[in-house]
Structure 1
Amino acid sequence: MTRPLTGDLLAELLAMLPGDRAFSSAEADDLSVSSGQRRLLVGKGLLRRPLPGVLHVAALPDTLDLRLQCLALVVPADCVVTDRTAAWAWVGERALAPGDHRRTPRASVFAPPGRRLRNDLTDSGERRLLDRDVVDLGGLRVTKPLRTACDQGRLLTADQGLAAMDSLATLRCFDVPELVEELDRFKGYRGIVQARQWAPWVDGGSDSPFESIARKRWIEAGLPRPQCQVPEVAPDGGEYFIDVGLPGELFGCEYFGEEFHGVDDEPADGARLEWLRTTRRWSLVVARRDNVVGPRQDLEQLLRLEWQRHRSARPVTP
């Protein structure tokens, strides 16, 4: 007879698994936690499956060390972690494509010349890598942030490429001039024109992938180069931060994602916007996911129209 799926049973299953490190599906089998039970724990948000065949309890903080533990369980020692998986290793979930945190992408790795992995855990191939492109992290070889940014800017879509380059720039391992110069070595490579177009706009101050894409819509609307996370005074004397803005113009854009700007947050969000607009005199465009990406995206148009209105409303200096 099947036991009911009570909270006590879930806690009992979780207690059977390692609570301080990543582990493999094979180890979980050895500990008598079946694949069906693991799926249940993942579905309940108690376990995470960052890579095929790799799990860890959800309570563990997302750190570089934990992500390297996960990769070490599936990546052979003579291979190099590359592309979006390398970006994930460096900066975590903010390097993933929208929705990727809800699925289990295979690890992107590149093997030595003449070798190609064939399994369900990794995507592999061959690539020219210089010694200076790769770093050893506890026995795991990973492309450095600069090389990873070059690859992501070339090989992803323009939206996701800028977001990925922004996320890697937060590490402060390279600056924009270094990125632009490094891309010169990829002349003739796939996607290099796109990477060169957007590399000068990279900004490590961006707080999320959607903020990066919202800033890209701003640039495409032809507005002046903005600042990320513009500080502004709050009613209590503290600070608010406007996602993308021109502090000298008091013009900005706020991205309201579902995670931090849901129905329960509407009163606080409304009060904040009212203060910024009426007391501090900001012109603000508020964007949600559908405004930024997808078939109904219209943020570029919204920004252009609000900018025109904002500029026309400014008093003329004699």
Structure 2
Amino acid sequence: MNMSLVKTDSNLPERPFTAVDVQSMAINRYALDQAISHGDVRRPFRGVYLPSKIDDDPATRAAALVSVVSSHQVISDRSAAWVHGIDAFSLTEEAQPPPVETCAVRGHTRTRRPGTDGRTRDLVPDDIVVLGGVPVTTPLRTALDLGCNLNRREAMAVLDEFAKKHGVSRSVLSGQLSRFKGRRGVLQLRDLIPLVSSHTESQRESWVKLAIRDAGLPLPEAQVWVDVEGIPTYRLDFAYRLARVAIEYDGEDHDNEDQHIYDEERRGWLIDHGWTIIIVRKGDFTGDRLLAWLREIKDALTPTYSSRRF
């Protein structure tokens, strides 16, 4: 990738740049704002800009933070997850870019540099990888930290993402727990590790799995294929095969007409062949709406016939 300061007609660099570059290169603020609104430039963090047309890989993402991070500091937590291709930020933070999260290496104090959120943490060399010239916590260390630091549902989703994209397995995570003894959040991490799976395909699917477990229900199998005439044809987000109960999360991608027609056809066939389909949607994770679909699962799993006479 060419990271040189080749300019476009709007005088914007064709490489990652920062707020300091905006001032020093006399970049037109209106042109920059227009580029952001049109999606030509992304602003993942305060004072950090990424042209959309350059390669979007871990090295490029890390290089975007070179000018923001102080010496002896390591990109960590949600910022490290972003470098590794995993989004751990909330929708609100996407609208208002957050500071870059860093931690100081052993023997140094946390940074107070503007645009950063500095912390201290007991890192060892194996916890750090250098990408694009910038030290970043490894996928394993980042997963462990976020398993402690994030809210429970978000932590579950991030752990599943690291399992899927970076092969951070339950056994590998468990092997590191002794290092975290006494750390705030380690009880949550310990509780979530047995649930980690590389098969969940979205953040909300991770939330579905966690809600089922927290309700005391048996965990379903993820990404289950149903055969039609011996051919794997329909894939279910979650299923209890023997009970023929399926749980599907319908995100925004299910709102378009073609997907809706396909869902109706697929679910109609499944119902005709003895399956119970329970659908979970975006707003179904709190209050009565959460309890409603969990009750549906419980009722569907309750046997309607018993061989016991008395």
Q: TM-score, normalized by length of structure 2?
A: 0.84
Aligned mates of 1:91, 1:314 — CA distance in 2:
49
Q: Which secondary structure does the structure 2 equivalent of 1:72 belong to?
A: coil
Q: What is the deviation of 1:208? A: 1.4
Structure 2 gaps, min length 5: 1-6
Question: Which residue of structure 1 lines up, in the alignment, with residue 3 of structure 2?
Answer: none
Aligned counterparts, 1:4-153, within 5 A: 16-19=11-14, 21-29=15-23, 33-60=27-54, 62-93=56-87, 95-112=88-105, 113-153=107-147
Amino acid at match of 2:98: P
1:207-253 C-alpha deviation (Å, 9 max, x unpaired): 11111111101111222222222223479x66433222223432221
Aligned mates of 2:167, 2:91 — CA distance in 1:
25
Structure 1 gaps, min length 5: 1-11
Amino acid at match of 2:297: E
Aligned mates of 1:251, 1:61 — CA distance in 2:
43
Extract structure 1 runs of 4+ deviating beyond 6 A.
314-318
Matching of residue 308 in structure 1 with residue 303 in structure 2 = no
Question: Which residue of structure 2 lines up, in the alignment, with residue 7 of structure 1?
Answer: none
Matching of residue 287 in structure 1 with residue 270 in structure 2 = no
Aligned mates of 1:136, 1:316 — CA distance in 2:
63
**In the alignment, which of 202, 208, 226 is matched to residue 214 of structure 1?**
208
Amino acid at match of 1:49: R
Question: Which residue of structure 1 lines up, in the alignment, with residue 175 of structure 2?
Answer: 181
Aligned mates of 1:229, 1:151 — CA distance in 2:
28
Question: Which residue of structure 1 lines up, in the alignment, with residue 234 of structure 2?
Answer: 240
Q: What is the deviation of 1:59? A: 4.2
Q: Which secondary structure does the structure 2 equivalent of 1:210 belong to?
A: helix
Higher-helix-fraction structure: 1
Superposed CA RMSD: 3.0
Question: Which residue of structure 2 lines up, in the alignment, with residue 255 of structure 1?
Answer: 249
Tell which deviates more after alignment, 73-82 or 216-225.
73-82
Query: Aligned residues: percent identity?
Result: 29
- Number of aligned residue pairs: 301
Q: What is the deviation of 1:32? A: 5.1
Aligned mates of 1:315, 1:37 — CA distance in 2:
71
Question: Which residue of structure 2 lines up, in the alignment, with residue 6 of structure 1?
Answer: none
Q: TM-score, normalized by length of structure 1?
A: 0.82
Q: Which secondary structure does the structure 2 equivalent of 1:96 belong to?
A: coil
